[in-house]
Amino acid sequence: MGISSPMHTRGEWRDSRVRYLMVIVIVGSLTLTAFHHFEYKYGYATMCNGTLTYAKLVPIDRLVPYISAVQVRVVTILKTLQIILVVILPLIGIVVLNLKIILVLRRSSVLVTRSAKSSTDDPNDEFLR
């Protein structure tokens, strides 16, 4: 599979293949962000003889004596994995694909012949001759 002509498609995907891809993307994103459900603990305290409630979300890495070290380690690993898979890899992929499109467009003989014809057709364009 490659880029033969960036303006035309080579083929079409079947509906089942598109559905499977959508399911994989949705399940993958839910799996990748599931650690947010146990990344924080909800703590609260009552003050003023129980008339005022103070609540706060506390990251579990601050609660190390009360939370298992395995849970803190899993959250740290999943957070790093999310940064790599959601931010860094797509950024690199977009840069690589944009560079490939630029290279294909530069090597394309269709674009070269079009620009050559347009420059020779214009009698006022003496700069390109």
Give CA–CA dist 6/103, Å, rounded: 11
pLDDT at 20: 95
pLDDT at 125: 55
Give CA–CA dist 32/80, Å, rounded: 11
Instruction: Provide the 10 A C-beta neighbour count for residue 39.
Output: 19
pLDDT at 10: 63
The confidence band for 7, taking pLDDT boundaries of 50, 70 and 90, is low
Could you give the percent of the chain with pLDDT greater than 70? Answer: 75
Give CA–CA dist 89/80, Å, rounded: 12
Residue with tokens 């790599």: 84
Question: For 43-89, what is each residue's pLDDT tens digit?
Answer: 888 888 878 888 888 888 777 777 888 888 888 898 899 899 889 99
The confidence band for 21, taking pLDDT boundaries of 50, 70 and 90, is very high
pLDDT at 116: 58
- For residue 31, pLDDT over 70 is answered with yes
Where are the chain's structural domains?
A: 38-67, 68-121
Question: For 95-118, what is each residue's pLDDT tens digit?
Answer: 999 999 888 888 776 555 555 565
